[in-house]
Each structure stands twice: as C-alpha cells, then as structure tokens.
Amino acid sequence: MPTVLITGASRGIGLEFAKQYADDGWKVIATCRDPGGANELKGLAGKVEVHALDITDRGQIQALAKSLKRENIDILINNAGIYGPKPALLGGINYGAWEEVMRTDAMSPLKVSECFLDHIARGKMKKIIAISSKMGSISDNSSGGSYIYRSSKAALNAVMKSLSIDLKERGVVVALLHPGWVKTDMGGPGALIDSRESVSKMRDVIAGLGPEQSGGFFGFDGERISW
C-alpha cells in the first residue's frame, strides 16, 4: 500500500488530496493545525491517519517525524500555506504579516521536507511536491501588487528548485505545482475550477513525474510554467 503525507489537509485542496488518495487505496497521513475541528477529514473513508501539525512550529515537525520514523512515505505533498492580508498594496504593507507568510509558505515546506527526508528516501516513489502558484512566476507578473503572496511563492519556487538539485543523488524527485484558480476559502467562489478537478489533474501530473522533471514548475494540466 503506497503512503502519502499531506500538510494542511483539513480543508480545500489538502482535504481533496486526502480524499482522492484514500479512495484509491492509499494510506494517507494527513496533518492539520486543529484535528479536533477537522470533522470532514476525520470522516473520510479508507486508511487515513490525522495528526496535529503547525508547520511553522519546527519542534512539532521534528517530533512528528520522530513519531513516524518507521513509516516509508512515497509522496510528500507540502500543501499548507496562507495568502496573508488583502490587499497587499504599495504604501499599505503589513510587514509583520509578510514575515508570517514567508515562514509558512517558503520556510516551513523546506523544514517538513528535511525532517521527513529519510522516510521519503525509503519509499518506492520518492517524490516531494510543493503546491505553489502561478502568482509566484516573475515572468508572468503583468499586474503588480500582491507583494506578500507573490514573493512567498517565488521564494518557495527557489527553495524547492535548490532542494531538487541537492536530492538528485538520493533519487528523490521534487516538483512545484500550480493548482489553478480553485474554488476554496483562499480562491473564493468566483474561481474557475473546483478542488476535485484540480486535484485529480495534479495527481496525474504527480504520477508521471520522473527524474527528468525534477525541479520543474508545472500547472495542474502538466504544462511547464516559466519562472
């Protein structure tokens, strides 16, 4: 039975990843900040374990990795992230909030990947996925603004690109995925696709990733996105 570890699994894209992998017979290790309030996650059918994890708490990450030291993990999905205050416009930037978003979106996924690296290296698939955003593409930025979120995802892209190079010798594939504009709490009701479609297509992309795609930035449709 393959195993997937998903952060931020209590709602939205993370919850849908957990549901779809569980429905397909995977063992799902699902993490979220408040398992007590994650009723939908805890109600999923299949082999689903729910663990408390605040990804900004490095000690908590280390403790969870130690408690799961016997697990072989095939895929790690670094999904947890925040947008930060809106609007983030010139002259009105909340710099304290910016620091929080950078810790959550760019620094914490690296710490999670680092702490669970041995678990992943023992798995058969050996894949680390980070959910990024096309808003982190510098070349695609034609509208400006959104300083906080754009910079956090651009930083995540840089972090994961470096990680892909560092882990090449261990056979671990690292990739970044843009889920599209998804109807979630973050994406809002006016988004273009629902989480079921986004996750289904991203799972297809993940399944097809090999060493030659490691370090790449892809849309949910599998198309490469420019940095």
Per-residue model confidence as pLDDT tens digits over 42-94: 999 999 999 999 999 999 999 999 999 999 999 999 999 999 999 888 999 99
Query: What does 78-141 look like in DSSP terms, one character per residue?
Result: E------SS---TT---HHHHHHHHIIIIIHHHHHHHHTHHHHHHSSS-EEEEE--GGG-STT-
Please tell me which residue in 27, 153, 183, 201 is annotated as part of the active site: 153
- The whole domain housing 121 covers 3-219
Q: Which of 124, 126, 226 is nearest to 178 (CA)?
A: 226
Q: Is residue 184 part of a domain?
A: yes
Q: Are 41 and 91 in contact (CB under 8 A)?
A: no
Q: Is residue 225 part of a domain?
A: no
Catalytic status, residue 95: no
pLDDT the model gives residue 187: 60
Beta strand pairing status for 27-32 and 127-131? Answer: unpaired
To which residue do tokens 């894949």 refer?
Answer: 127
Q: Is residue 226 part of a domain?
A: no
Catalytic status, residue 133: yes
pLDDT the model gives residue 190: 62
pLDDT the model gives residue 6: 99
How far apart CA 105 and CA 38 sit, in angstroms, is 21
Any idea what the CATH number is for the domain that residue 24 is in? 3.40.50.720
> Would you mind telling me the total number of residues written for the chain in this entry?
227
pLDDT the model gives residue 84: 96
Q: Could you report how far apart the first and last alpha carbons of the chain are, in Å?
A: 35
Catalytic status, residue 143: no
- Asked if residue 191 has pLDDT above 80, the reply is no
How far apart CA 29 and CA 47 sit, in angstroms, is 9
**Residues linked to residue 218 through DSSP beta bridges, in sequence order:** 177, 224
- Find the radius of gyration of the CA atoms of the chain: 16
To which residue do tokens 């894209």 refer?
Answer: 13
The structure's pTM equals: 0.95
Greater confidence (181 vs 115) lies with: 115
Q: Is residue 52 part of a domain?
A: yes
% of the chain beyond a pLDDT of 90: 93
pLDDT the model gives residue 154: 98
Q: Is residue 86 part of a domain?
A: yes
Please tell me which residue in 21, 149, 151, 164 is annotated as part of the active site: 149
CB count in 10 Å sphere of residue 23: 12
How far apart CA 131 and CA 81 sit, in angstroms, is 8
Q: Is residue 224 part of a domain?
A: no
Split into its structural domains, the chain has a count of: 1
Q: Which of 2, 160, 3 is nearest to 68 (CA)?
A: 3
- Asked if residue 185 has pLDDT above 70, the reply is no
Q: Is residue 39 part of a domain?
A: yes
Q: Is residue 76 part of a domain?
A: yes
Please tell me which residue in 10, 113, 132, 133 is annotated as part of the active site: 133
Q: Which of 97, 57, 62 is nearest to 80 (CA)?
A: 57
CB count in 10 Å sphere of residue 134: 17
- Asked if residue 188 has pLDDT above 90, the reply is no
